[in-house]
Amino acid sequence: MSTTALERYHQKIAAAATQDMVLNMGPQHPSTHGVLRLELITDGEIVKEVIPHAGYLHRCFEKHAESLTYQQTIPFTDRLDYLSSMNNSHVWVMGVERMLGIDKDIPKRVEYIRVLVCELNRIASHLISIGTYGIDIGAFTPFLWCFRDREHIMGMLEWASGSRMLYNYIWIGGLFFDLPVGFEERCREFVDYFKPKMVELNELLTNNQIFISRTANVGVLPLDVAINYGCSGPMLRGSGLKWDLRRIDNYSAYGELDFDIPCGQGLMGTVGDCWDRNKVRVDEIGESLKIIEQCLDRLQKELKRTPDFDPRAKLPRKITPKAQDYYMRGEGSKGELGFYFITDGKSEVPFRVKARAPSFNNLSVISEMSKGIMIADLIAIIGSIDFVLGELDR
Amino acid sequence: MTFEAIKQLLIAHFGEEVVLGEETGGLQPALLIAPDRIADVCLELRNNPATYFDFLACLSGVDYGITANRFGVVYHLTSIPYQLQLTLKISKEHGRDINDLPSFPSVSEVYRTADWHEREAYDLVGIFFENHPDLRRILLPDDWEGYPLRKDYQAAEYYKGIKID
């Protein structure tokens, strides 16, 4: 059964080509942050309609997951949102652990290390988001500063896992390795180094008058629209709702940690504008630093490294969850990351896996947000959504 | 509001026949809904002040296997005001004919999230959604043949005359 939607789409483009201008943005355009193609129907500088075309980076994650064991899929989850791989594998691993019923047996030290590396990765991801957003708007320096600071995190995570971006570090029931000796001290050094750098970055970019003029009151996303479109993460919080799954579900060690949930307040314009979304990310970096410090406190005191501690001790030998289906959600750096598992109880591979990617839902609102705006503002909106095509296309 | 209370609320509002059953064996209970009524059920769950399931977290198209010959859609709803989660399932038997897709009502009028998710289910699992505003393929090219997440999918040997190794 073919649908008539494709014909309607072709007719729309053909009709627009005679009256308005059809403009292709991407897939190679740098401000689309990856291989996203936006088809714009424009009237001069005004965008009448945006038609997103995704899928250039589709690599059949869900099909792959149906033929690989749960442990073997972890490297594939790393490649979903490749800017915060730790968060992806954390959610995946927690989902499998809960289905196996071993989530309560995970050693505290393992949980705290997981949270520590996830938050480091979240900072790295937000730094890319803020830095590239600056570039989109025309500020080059913050980009270099962000990448300079992110490099410290990349170095630390490489030290822990052996890989710079795609870690395969969090395993079902434990970790690949314990943290290397001296990691906690190095991490504390980084936190002390990084805090003043954030102040500098805010002076340079977040509170810069040019930046504010480009982003405040631009791309306002009202809260009800955001919820209806399934936006999550900084997108939803930017619209003024304190909704963070780390707090709502209190998974892993987050229930024992103290942190705030920043949300958009419309300080420079309207609640839910581009500046608010960027500001939420800036504030979240501060909250992540708070979490990291608390994790380090505990990892250096009561959960100290002992010679006989084995992060692989609880690794299950055979992973065959009983027949059920389970939806696991967690707060990735972009929003609610979910994995929906269907298991048949007999085999070591899942029957069906669906990945609910936050970028996928966050981007879907772009057509709604960009009716009647200027093309230059569209760039500002795309940057403020902060999507990663790796998880959008899966 | 408990799972049982939500079930009773739906039965009181729509009658016995709308809830076909429930799955309570796993960690997350699920309600089996009559496929034709899913859009009404979602609208009621979203608008009812006692439930306010305003956030569609995930929508998954599922092929339940070659022997079962059953296709379904699974909805994961979240109520932000009450911090609740709910799973709804619809399914129907279907003969896997590629030219006559299994068809379910679209909920994209209730949750705009469903717009892209239903396009994805159409694209990868081959499920048709009635009254969907723009049911085109989303991740695969428009001229792709077949639905890759079906259990009987055979990878093509050629794509536009190019041999796939």
How many angstroms away from the CA of A360 is the closest CA of chain B?
A: 8
Of the candidates B27, B60, B137, which has its C-beta nearest A340's C-beta? B60
| CB pair distance less than 8 Å for A230 and B54 | no
* Average pLDDT rounded to a whole number, residues B61-87: 89
Does a structural domain hold residue A27? no
* Residue pLDDT, tens place only, B38-49: 888 899 888 888
| CB pair distance less than 8 Å for A55 and B85 | no
Of the candidates A227, A340, A351, which has its C-beta nearest B74's C-beta? A340
Put simply, whether B88 touches A (Cβ < 8 Å) is no
Residues A299, A156: Cα–Cα separation, whole Å = 16
| pLDDT on residue A91 | 92
- Which positions in chain A touch B142 (Cβ < 8 Å)? 6
For B126, the domain range is 3-163
CATH number for the domain spanning A164: value is: 1.10.645.10
Domain count, chain A: 1
| pLDDT on residue A1 | 47
Residues A205, A216: Cα–Cα separation, whole Å = 13
Domain count, chain B: 1
Per-10-residue mean pLDDT, chain A, length 394: 76 80 81 83 89 89 89 90 90 90 86 92 92 88 91 91 88 88 91 92 89 89 91 90 89 89 87 90 92 90 83 82 88 91 88 91 90 88 88 87
Model pTM score: 0.90
For A114, the domain range is 61-369
Residues A265, A296: Cα–Cα separation, whole Å = 31
Put simply, whether B8 touches A (Cβ < 8 Å) is no
- Which positions in chain A touch B65 (Cβ < 8 Å)? 351
Tell me the two tokens of residue A285: 């970096």
Put simply, whether B87 touches A (Cβ < 8 Å) is yes
| CB pair distance less than 8 Å for A230 and B60 | no
Report the phi/psi class of residue A162: left, alpha or beta, with left for phi > 0 and alpha for psi in -120 to 50.
left
* Residue pLDDT, tens place only, B83-139: 888 999 998 888 888 888 889 999 988 999 999 999 999 999 989 998 888 888 899
Residues A22, A49: Cα–Cα separation, whole Å = 10
CATH number for the domain spanning B130: value is: 3.30.460.80
- Which positions in chain B touch A3 (Cβ < 8 Å)? 122, 128, 135-136
